[in-house]
A and B are shown apart, each in its own frame.
Chain A
Amino acid sequence: MSNVLKKNTNELQSAWAKELATAMPTGKGRISAREVEQQTTEFLNLLSAAIGHARNGDISGTEFKPIREFLEGLSRSRVQQGFTSDETATFIFSVKKPLFQAIRVEAGKNADVLADEIWLVTQLLDSLGLHTIKTYQKAREEIINRQQREMLELSTPVVKLWDGILALPMIGTLDSARTQVVMESLLQRVVETGSQIVILDITGVPTVDTLVAQHLLKTVTALRLMGADCIISGVRPQIAQTIVHLGVDLQGVTTKANLADALKLALKRTGSTLQA
């Protein structure tokens, strides 16, 4: 089988490239002909190296590691180039036709050999195709998660209000992921700016439930451990009630109704005063 591959690499590669072009006309513009050529050639080389070990389409062995990794890289770049998972899997499945042609030629009149080889190749290519789809999906998830994280960071900016005073206007719902991201970047900014006072403004937070209160408490505690003081501003009466009812002990953190009052207090604490 690997002989078939080795002997006919060039013809296989160009036949395959033609298949890809017809199967995926929209590929043009997103990917260059040169890139397709490189990828198809490399895949054929890797395939011919691995095919000797093909048994029942099992690709979990170390002999298949290079080809698996190649496909993982391919999936990743396809995701970034904007291809769908179908289009990505087509890369593999479209090699079947040229490959089967080549096998037919090699097998000649020997029907048994023909059947065996085609079955062997089919199993292998199907496994590789499935692997490609799986890794495509994973790669997409990773990219989406990363983009979400970046958006979270952007939507909760830490603002330096004054020398030594940072403010964090929290907007929208405080969920676990957001709080993590926010807490980390906030603490980092405290160290970078040497700010002693942090104003957490929750004016834009609609509800405070146990989870939100706990997250707030964690942020406040972490800040205190580092040596920074916290003032929570934007505490509406309903929220104050909720916090008391929940029995959450804010450990002596001062709360203020609005950001301006919080800033006045912060300035007083740092020894500066605002000239009205």
Chain B
Amino acid sequence: MTQLSGEAPLRSDTDVVLARQLVRRLTLELGFSLVDQTKMVTATSELARNAYTYGRGGTLYWEFVQRDMRRGLKLLFADEGPGIPNMDLAMTDGWTSGHGLGMGLTGSKRLVNEFEIDSKVGGGTRVTIIRWK
């Protein structure tokens, strides 16, 4: 019986590496092309790092999803950190400075098919991404 969902902690930089490996395995299982696998694993690395570094630790929830007859991988990066006060500013800043929270967010957005972010000051951040086969 194959697992269809699961979770993994994001509380150390080793966890970030493990998360990458986990997502590599999951995308392989779904039969993603090499480029698509790489994009998903890279997005994972960025978002997992954000959760661990800026979010003070969190959890990665993964799930195989289906829409019509397409299969995909849904990842949710959730942390209970300080949250992002000004989303637009953060994303532009990160983009221009080339590093930090924003870079990971804007960059990852381009690597996936669906991207959603929900953040409250003092209430943590949740980033959900989906890549379809």
Which A residues form the contact surface with B (CB < 8 A)?
Answer: 72, 134-135, 138-139, 184
Contact A184 B69 (CB under 8 A): no
Contact A135 B69 (CB under 8 A): yes
Give B24 Cβ to nearest chain A Cβ, in Å.
Answer: 19
Residues of B within 8 A of A184 (CB): 35
7 A-B residue pairs with CB within 8 Å: A72-B69, A134-B68, A135-B69, A138-B68, A138-B69, A139-B69, A184-B35
Q: How far is the CA of A184 from the CA of B33 in the complex (A)?
A: 11
Q: How far is the CA of A7 from the CA of B116 in the complex (A)?
A: 54
Residues of A within 8 A of B35 (CB): 184
Residues of B within 8 A of A139 (CB): 69
Nearest 7 interchain pairs by C-beta? A138-B69, A184-B35, A138-B68, A135-B69, A72-B69, A134-B68, A139-B69
Nearest B residue to A141, CB-CB: B69
Give B75 Cβ to nearest chain A Cβ, in Å.
Answer: 22
Interface of B is mostly: loop
Which B residues form the contact surface with A (CB < 8 A)?
Answer: 35, 68-69
A-B Cβ contacts below 8 A, count? 7
Interface of A is mostly: helix
Give B106 Cβ to nearest chain A Cβ, in Å.
Answer: 16
Q: How far is the CA of A72 from the CA of B69 in the complex (A)?
A: 10
Q: How far is the CA of A190 from the CA of B35 in the complex (A)?
A: 16
Residues of B within 8 A of A134 (CB): 68
Nearest A residue to B69, CB-CB: A138
Q: How far is the CA of A230 from the CA of B35 in the complex (A)?
A: 22
Residues of A within 8 A of B69 (CB): 72, 135, 138-139
Q: How far is the CA of A72 from the CA of B71 in the complex (A)?
A: 15
Give A36 Cβ to nearest chain B Cβ, in Å.
Answer: 25
Nearest A residue to B33, CB-CB: A184
Q: How far is the CA of A135 from the CA of B69 in the complex (A)?
A: 7
Nearest B residue to A183, CB-CB: B35
Give A79 Cβ to nearest chain B Cβ, in Å.
Answer: 12
Q: How far is the CA of A138 from the CA of B69 in the complex (A)?
A: 7
Q: How far is the CA of A138 from the CA of B68 in the complex (A)?
A: 8
Give A135 Cβ to nearest chain B Cβ, in Å.
Answer: 6
Q: How far is the CA of A139 from the CA of B35 in the complex (A)?
A: 24
Nearest B residue to A188, CB-CB: B34
Residues of A within 8 A of B68 (CB): 134, 138
Q: How far is the CA of A134 from the CA of B67 in the complex (A)?
A: 13
Residues of B within 8 A of A72 (CB): 69
Residues of B within 8 A of A135 (CB): 69
Give B71 Cβ to nearest chain A Cβ, in Å.
Answer: 12
Residues of B within 8 A of A138 (CB): 68-69
Nearest B residue to A72, CB-CB: B69
Nearest B residue to A139, CB-CB: B69
Q: How far is the CA of A134 from the CA of B68 in the complex (A)?
A: 9
Nearest A residue to B70, CB-CB: A138
Q: How far is the CA of A244 from the CA of B120 in the complex (A)?
A: 43
Give A109 Cβ to nearest chain B Cβ, in Å.
Answer: 45
